[in-house]
Amino acid sequence: MLLADVVAASGAVTATRARTAKAAAIADVLRAAAPAEVEPVTAWLAGEPRQGRLGVGWRSLAGFAGDETAPAGEPLTVTAVDDALTALAATSGPGSAARRDAALTALFSAAAPGERRFLVRLLTGELRQGALEGVVLEAVAAAAGVPAAAVRRAFMLTGSLPGTATTALAGGVEALDAARLQVGRPVRPMLASPGSSLEQALADLGADVTVEFKLDGARIQVHRDGDEVRVWTRTLREVTDGVPELAERVRALPCRTAVLDGETLALDDDGRPRAFQDTMSRFGSDGPGADDDAAVLLSPFFFDVLHLDGVDLLDEPLHVRLDALAGLLAADEHAALRMPGIRSPAAEAAAQVLDDALAAGHEGVVVKALDAPYAAGRRGKAWQKVKPVHTLDLVVLGAEWGYGRRSGSLSNIHLGARDPDGGAPVMVGKTFKGMTDELLAWQTRTFPELAREEPPWGLLLRPELVVEIAVDGAQRSTRYPGGLALRFARVLRYRPDKTAAEADTLDAVRALLA
């Protein structure tokens, strides 16, 4: 398969807002791909190289994007480009910068102008559009002629979208169904949807629910196999070596194998949550964090168990998983590891849980349907998070140079909501409110590394950073392409534990319309 075929499919995806049309264009190119080409093609159309980050920034590639010269040699194939990216990823050590530049020059000189623009967008992350992952999953199902649910489940269990596509196209539904939870390989986490209020969440889900604290912490998934304990973040980045106290607590539990889902956070001497950035400082995030990371100890709180002593629990209803978790944490010395909450509460008791969570310094509560299986990687209605303040996790699309006291700092940030149909994030507002001097300095230091363009007024960024914004609501507006604008948006914090694929959608913003 030629690179030009993939570029044409990407263009077709970009040219339409219809989700079904996007999936159909991707499915067509997947059907035409040779078995060895499926993995790189799937990765590229989902918005990133199969090899992950390659250490190539916008400044290294800016000159290639506008190069209209004719390519040298034969047309580029998918295999040739993938091999070049693999070699690029392996380039390190003394003299690696020069070798990387030479490899990029060789690759781009062989590409046609449209292919160069595609490769620049691929390598700078501009193709990574969040919900496009869901569209590619639908395309894989269509190309392989298998149920979408089978594809989603295999992806959930393996964590690899390109690998799942290869399995689906090579082995069909039988091969997909053979995927199993594997202790030591992280599972994509189940996510909660924003709930408008506690009353509405209870009305949606009924009385057969659990209401649990929503902590101001970081999501963790912990796997234990004998004495070996490993810890991953919500983005499936392993952090085991940096959190020995979490591993020690799980190693002490009365089990042989387990996969636990929960949150962790740093507490002060009074048992109240420390600032979110203090918790994130322990995970080696690039965000502004605590000055003394070593002084920050993390406490785990588990709310789910996906596997216990040889038994997979993913497909069991939540009440069965909670019973298993309660048994695991029954001893007094382990009881503090359980997320506070209550099952099947009356409305008054549920409201008391919310009051208790807020009084303890936490964000709110999560209401969960007790009959729901673990639907990893999806924001369904079975879990609903309720917070008293409207907040949105949005993608930072750009930043403007400040003026006055903020001269020389990247200040006013452009905010985008995720397109639920797989398009690029849709701008819904700007804000410079809520930024401390420390945060301004961090933005000014960090944003140039994520720049995809540098207009005179500031920077346009690759859609990678997620920021949590507090808002008073939303209003209809013709100023932004989504027809919506945020009201009184202010920065609460950056979320290095989240990817752009986990940002809130335009529908979530639309739900805040007065």
In the chain, the amino acid numbered 16 is T
214, 368, 387, 498: which is the annotated catalytic residue? 214
Q: Which two tokens stand for residue 188?
A: 């994509």
Measured CA to CA in angstroms, residue 222 lies from 229, 312, 440 at distances of 7, 15, 34
User: Would you say 377 and 190 are in contact if contact means Cβ atoms under 8 Å apart?
Assistant: yes
Measured CA to CA in angstroms, residue 96 lies from 86, 91, 132, 233 at distances of 14, 6, 33, 30
H or E element, residue 431? strand 426-431
The single residue listed with the structure tokens 């159909």 is 24
Whole-angstrom Cα distance, residue 262 to residue 304? 7
Q: Which two tokens stand for residue 7?
A: 């570029």
Mapped onto helix, strand or coil, the DSSP state of residue 467 is strand
Whole-angstrom Cα distance, residue 63 to residue 85? 19
User: Would you say 198 and 367 are in contact if contact means Cβ atoms under 8 Å apart?
Assistant: yes
Our answer to whether residue 498 is catalytic in this structure is no
Angle (CA) 204 208 211, round 5°? 80
Active site residues: 214
